[in-house]
Amino acid sequence: MSDAVGPGDLVLCVNAAPNHVTGRPVPLQAGETYRVLGVMEFGCPCGRADHLLDVGIDWGWCQTRFRLLPKPKAQARTQKISAPREKETTR
């Protein structure tokens, strides 16, 4: 997952268990979507991940807590433009 995740990506929290290093409760919510602010090139102390993710809550989180959400596909839409019609006056 480390190669695919970058700043601005959306990730889904799949594990809101207590911090697996310190044992303290975490402020993350399972099932919530978070935007990645940065990817830190540090290995997690647990040894399960080679990068930590910054999602704007507390400090870096182990990337094993998250799953990358697919990027939305851009769809071209045709827009209907309505312009006022000019009326011809006849005398």
Domain ranges of the chain: 10-68
Say if residue 1's pLDDT is above 60.
no
Read off the pLDDT of each residue in 65-75 and give the average, rounded to a whole number.
83
The pLDDT score that the predictor gives to residue 2 is 45
Asked whether the predicted pLDDT for residue 20 surpasses 70, the reply is no
Say if pTM beats, i.e. exceeds, 0.75.
no
Classify burial at 8, counting beta carbons within 10 Å of its beta carbon; exposed 0-12, middle 13-18, buried 19 or more.
exposed
- pLDDT bin (cut points 50, 70, 90) of residue 85 is confident
